[in-house]
Structure 1
Amino acid sequence: MKLTVLGAAGEVTGSQHLIETSMRRLLLDCGLFQGHRAESRAKNSHFHCRPKELDAVILSHAHIDHCGNLPGLYKAGFRGPIFCTPPTAEIAAVMLRDAAKIQGEDAEYLRRHVDPRDARAIEPLYTEEHARAVCDLFETIPYGQREDVGKDVRILFREAGHILGSAIVELDLEEQGEWKRVVFTGDLGRRGLPILRDPQLVDRCDLLITEGTYGNRIHPEAGAQELELQRIIQRTAAREGRVIIPAFALGRTQNILYYLNDLNNQNLLPRIPMYVDSPLSRELTQIYLRHLNEMDAAVQRVRQADEHPFSFPGLQFIRTPQESASLNYRKGSFVVIASSGMCESGRVVHHLKHGLADEKNTVILMGFQAQGTLGRRLQERRSPVKVLNREVEIRADIECLTGLSAHADAADFQWWFGELGKRGGCGKAVVVHSEEGPAAATAALLADVCDEPPIVPKPGEVVEF
């Protein structure tokens, strides 16, 4: 049996790992590589897993860097089943249609602004038709139910605690009468994160494939973010300013709404309008509402008095571009949550263009801001900034709340790996979905748990087990 690491090797994008036995070829995740346009195009356009020969895909969760190239795989000829949890199937269907729509819009824009001879280079990777067709291949397995998907393959999904539906994959494979177990963490979540249940533990395995995104970092406490939100909103409302919160549509927006709902239930918010300006966020929040029973004990307690943990009086979901644009000319104080989280695209860019120059306003950055993004320039207060081809002075307050990361940190890894060690440890371990420093730190945390030194693979590296 062997593992070939085809993506997320030395980086935190493009998750894709090929498991092969003499009888089976199984792909763990099929994510989009996200980066500079030309490099992304080259990596996302070519598959090294021979799509037509794959027996199945096993999907850990519905973030685009884990599921986003499934339509491309379908376009390349894959027609096998895609196994995942029920919430992941619902969320991935929404995310993939949205990704295809954005690709089409971006390609159309670029065609109008580049040499027509280069038009082929900017064709979308796939269409909405491909996205819809690949979703028909989803076959769902509930958490905790070990499923025989062939005489020599069994799958079990455990709670990963990263986003709704995220799973730790246990994969049992038989070859020549001998069974081996592979555990793939997907993106391992944090303990104590709002809404989600904590990551579950696993027993001894022959091969562990683990992410290591923040293996060298300790996150701030998630619970402190609610009090910070209250403080910032009250201060900004007192000076009649607006609060602009760039937030990813999946996961982060629902966390913010959950905190705002809790503050509202305690009468700790000023009575000002609050808006979610993202049709995608609205659709995803509806999926969260359909799966309240799969959320943590705190959500279950809230539901006893409040059946909608993500809504409250004064909150409105903005639908049309016209409604979104009208907010920029609204008088008085309000809160607007809009994507994207790093301020690179979407409706939030328009809110920033109109709001950054006013000292009464506040921008709350709710997570990591990658190098080169507008979010990073705001974080570093590199005034002026260019927003939609306009130079804008940064006079608004910029607040950074980083405690809502959904990835495990060093303390979470130490706990999870330690518990694995008590349950027998693992034969081999491979650290993926991590840059060099965090990967080395994660490998060090693993060293006493596995029979051999942990591997930090290069792209395309093969690991036999």
Structure 2
Amino acid sequence: MPLTYACHGAAREVTGSCHLIEAGGHRLLVDCGMFQGDRDTEAANAQPFGFDPASVDALLLTHAHLDHCGRIPLLVRQGFHGRILATSATRELVRVVLLDAASLQVEDAAHASRSSRNGQDHAAPLYDLDDALHALDFFDRGVGYDEATEVVPGIVARFLDAGHILGSASVRLDVRDGELHRSVLFSGDLGNPGRPLLRDPTPAPDADYVVMECTYGDRPHRPLPDSVQELFRAIRETAQRHGNVVIPTFALERAQEILYYLHQGLREGAIPAHVRVFLDSPMAISATEIFRRHPECFDQAFLDVLRHGDPFAMEGLHFTRSSVESMAINNIDGGAVILAGSGMCNGGRVRHHLKHNLWRERSSVVFVGYAAEGTLARRIVDGASSVRVFNEDIPVRAQVWTINGFSAHADRPSLLAWLGDRPRRQVLLVHGEYERGMRCFANVLASRGLAPQMPRMGERIDLD
């Protein structure tokens, strides 16, 4: 039987992961994520998938980040009615992520409608809360790590710990047709080894074909201890100037990791005791509660910490769920550390905090995660003198820190270590900026005797 692969997202770019496998008359999808970036990039979310959603038998979800799961409600609304398989932790997190995404889309559409001029029509939201809730009905039971699960006759999936965020997985598909046996491994997003909360990624097992992310395929990360100390220094220096620190934070894993280090910094005196910490993200607050329910994902050292108390709790920590509490933070003149989403600053409450702090020389903005091309975060990181926030031009006078050692993505040495030196028929590179991480990583693999492919959007590749 023919075995084919088609890339319908994260093709020579970082967001929108969506991969279609066809074998034995069956169609499987791995991830169904949103495109994130500038307006033109995000407009792709409303475009056709490039395949008929009703023809897909099952969706295998690697993890709960929006660029991997964000278009699932749209997929269901357009006819998908198969099973959705994911780990238990991912199932819980996806509920929070999709409901939040639906609320934001409805809110943004309403705002655009109120702001319209000359009777111009504005696009409806991609989906609403009803669509998101309906999509959640298609999730099967949670799949355990290293558990063999028959997805359709002749195709067995095994989820392996990817160490990226809580519940994240690489997925290995075993395809059998009589005596013929082939295997395809999807890396998903791979985590950085040596993190304080989660286990290290499970190394890539035997597989004929590997579909692999390469977000940071062009460079190594800064050592984590150095990054932690730089974070503490940013907070100390800003506190001395009587300013606020805004940390655009991804709600899943990054927020919890930063809380863990802030707790550590306050306990050890590396951060001034008068600093108040605000986790201003309902999604991150819910995710922190979900964290506590999934010890199967934790590193042994973190499990030991959990036995002796709450590793996230600290003096001066405030969880702000309501919008009223969020707005009250803007009345604080200095000494606040504000963690808010989204990490790329394209949505969420962080935009309000940027509006109130970017223009203040006393304040700081600290980026601890990836900023995709076209996002507000990327424009600030790249040194824009002013940025547009809520239709207002805001001068960038705050000190901007970029600390890449906190990245939840594996760097080039870790990607190579994960792939190892097992023989492969083919490596397909996805989820990377073409001119940066992807081409550089492809050259490294070529120097090792591999000839990786970099699929284009919609490109269909015959794996036979």
Q: Is the 8 A contact 1:148 1:155 kept in 2?
A: yes
Q: Residues 303, 21 of structure 1: CA spacing in aligned structure 2 closer, same or farther, 3 A cutoff?
A: same
**Map of 2:30 onto structure 1:** 28
Which of 436, 452, 456 lines up with 1:458 in the alignment?
A: 456
Letter of the 1:441 counterpart: C
Whether 1:102 aligns to 2:104 is yes
User: Aligned to 2:266, what secondary structure does the other structure show?
Assistant: helix
Consecutive unaligned residues of structure 2, counting only runs of 5 or more, are: none
**Map of 1:440 onto structure 2:** 439
User: Aligned to 1:8, what secondary structure does the other structure show?
Assistant: coil
Which of 416, 427, 430 lines up with 1:429 in the alignment?
A: 427
Q: How does 1:185-264 map to 2 (within 5 A)?
A: 185-264=187-266
Letter of the 1:160 counterpart: A
Whether 1:300 aligns to 2:276 is no
Q: Is the 8 A contact 1:21 1:175 kept in 2?
A: no
How big is each residue's C-alpha offset from its partner over 1:214-270, in whole Å with a ceiling of 9 and x where there is no partner? 111111112222222222222332343322222122222112111112223334332
Which of 315, 319, 329 lines up with 1:313 in the alignment?
A: 315
Q: Is the 8 A contact 1:44 1:69 kept in 2?
A: no
State the Cα distance separating 1:416 from its structure 2 match. Answer: 1.7
Q: Is the 8 A contact 1:292 1:299 kept in 2?
A: no
Moved more, 83-92 or 333-342: 333-342
**Map of 2:343 onto structure 1:** 341
Q: Is the 8 A contact 1:293 1:300 kept in 2?
A: no
Letter of the 1:148 counterpart: E
Query: Aligned partners of 2:414 and 2:190: how far apart in 1?
Result: 9
Whether 1:290 aligns to 2:293 is yes
Moved more, 373-382 or 223-232: 373-382
How big is each residue's C-alpha offset from its partner over 1:344-370, in whole Å with a ceiling of 9 and x where there is no partner? 333222222322343332222223344
Letter of the 1:294 counterpart: C
State the Cα distance separating 1:39 from its structure 2 match. Answer: 5.1
Q: Residues 459, 266 of structure 1: CA spacing in aligned structure 2 closer, same or farther, 3 A cutoff?
A: same
Q: Is the 8 A contact 2:20 2:28 kept in 1?
A: yes
Query: Aligned partners of 1:459 and 1:19: how far apart in 2?
Result: 14
User: Aligned to 2:425, what secondary structure does the other structure show?
Assistant: strand
Which of 274, 277, 292 lines up with 2:280 in the alignment?
A: 277
Query: Aligned partners of 1:255 and 1:346: how far apart in 2?
Result: 20
Moved more, 5-14 or 369-378: 369-378
Q: Is the 8 A contact 1:417 1:449 kept in 2?
A: no
User: Aligned to 2:94, what secondary structure does the other structure show?
Assistant: helix
How big is each residue's C-alpha offset from its partner over 1:160-189, in whole Å with a ceiling of 9 and x where there is no partner? 111111101011111244221111001122
Query: Aligned partners of 1:345 and 1:169: how far apart in 2?
Result: 30
State the Cα distance separating 1:332 from its structure 2 match. Answer: 4.7
Q: Residues 304, 9 of structure 1: CA spacing in aligned structure 2 closer, same or farther, 3 A cutoff?
A: same
Whether 1:141 aligns to 2:140 is no
Query: Aligned partners of 1:292 and 1:309: how far apart in 2?
Result: 13
State the Cα distance separating 1:89 from its structure 2 match. Answer: 0.7
Letter of the 2:456 counterpart: K
Q: Residues 74, 374 of structure 1: CA spacing in aligned structure 2 closer, same or farther, 3 A cutoff?
A: closer
Identical amino acids, percent of aligned pairs: 40
Q: Is the 8 A contact 1:417 1:445 kept in 2?
A: no
Query: Aligned partners of 2:218 and 2:241: how far apart in 1?
Result: 40
Q: How does 1:316-331 map to 2 (within 5 A)?
A: 316-331=318-333
Q: Is the 8 A contact 1:241 1:360 kept in 2?
A: yes
Q: Is the 8 A contact 2:36 2:375 kept in 1?
A: no
**Map of 2:5 onto structure 1:** 3
Letter of the 1:21 counterpart: A
**Map of 2:90 onto structure 1:** 88
Query: Aligned partners of 1:382 and 1:58: how far apart in 2?
Result: 39
Letter of the 1:464 counterpart: D
State the Cα distance separating 1:61 from its structure 2 match. Answer: 0.8
Q: Residues 91, 107 of structure 1: CA spacing in aligned structure 2 closer, same or farther, 3 A cutoff?
A: same
Query: Aligned partners of 2:410 and 2:325: how far apart in 1?
Result: 38
Which of 413, 416, 429 lines up with 2:415 in the alignment?
A: 413
Letter of the 1:443 counterpart: A
Q: Residues 231, 134 of structure 1: CA spacing in aligned structure 2 closer, same or farther, 3 A cutoff?
A: same
Q: Is the 8 A contact 2:35 2:44 kept in 1?
A: no
Consecutive unaligned residues of structure 1, counting only runs of 5 or more, are: none
User: Aligned to 1:157, what secondary structure does the other structure show?
Assistant: strand
Query: Aligned partners of 2:431 and 2:71: how far apart in 1?
Result: 16
State the Cα distance separating 1:202 from its structure 2 match. Answer: 2.9
Q: Is the 8 A contact 1:206 1:428 kept in 2?
A: yes
**Map of 2:133 onto structure 1:** 132
Q: Is the 8 A contact 1:414 1:445 kept in 2?
A: no
Query: Aligned partners of 1:113 and 1:130: how far apart in 2?
Result: 25
Q: Residues 447, 313 of structure 1: CA spacing in aligned structure 2 closer, same or farther, 3 A cutoff?
A: same
**Map of 2:17 onto structure 1:** 15
Which of 154, 159, 168 lines up with 1:152 in the alignment?
A: 154
Q: Residues 231, 171 of structure 1: CA spacing in aligned structure 2 closer, same or farther, 3 A cutoff?
A: same
Q: Residues 44, 444 of structure 1: CA spacing in aligned structure 2 closer, same or farther, 3 A cutoff?
A: same
Q: Is the 8 A contact 1:212 1:431 kept in 2?
A: yes
**Map of 1:169 onto structure 2:** 171
Q: Residues 400, 41 of structure 1: CA spacing in aligned structure 2 closer, same or farther, 3 A cutoff?
A: closer
State the Cα distance separating 1:126 from its structure 2 match. Answer: 1.4
Query: Aligned partners of 2:227 and 2:404: how far apart in 1?
Result: 8
**What TM-score does the superposition give when structure 1 sets the normalisation length?**
0.92
How big is each residue's C-alpha offset from its partner over 1:280-305, in whole Å with a ceiling of 9 and x where there is no partner? 11111111121134211231232232
Q: Residues 31, 373 of structure 1: CA spacing in aligned structure 2 closer, same or farther, 3 A cutoff?
A: closer
Query: Aligned partners of 1:141 and 1:380: how far apart in 2?
Result: 41
User: Aligned to 1:282, what secondary structure does the other structure show?
Assistant: helix
Query: Aligned partners of 1:151 and 1:370: how far apart in 2?
Result: 39
State the Cα distance separating 1:114 from its structure 2 match. Answer: 3.0
Q: Residues 141, 440 of structure 1: CA spacing in aligned structure 2 closer, same or farther, 3 A cutoff?
A: same
Query: Aligned partners of 1:382 and 1:178: how far apart in 2?
Result: 56
Query: Aligned partners of 1:320 and 1:241: how far apart in 2?
Result: 24
Query: Aligned partners of 2:334 and 2:407: how far apart in 1?
Result: 31
Query: Aligned partners of 1:380 and 1:150: how far apart in 2?
Result: 47
Q: Is the 8 A contact 2:224 2:406 kept in 1?
A: yes
**What TM-score does the superposition give when structure 2 sets the normalisation length?**
0.92
State the Cα distance separating 1:393 from its structure 2 match. Answer: 4.1
User: Aligned to 2:405, what secondary structure does the other structure show?
Assistant: coil
> Would you say how many aligned residue pairs link Structure 1 and Structure 2?
458
Q: Is the 8 A contact 1:417 1:446 kept in 2?
A: no
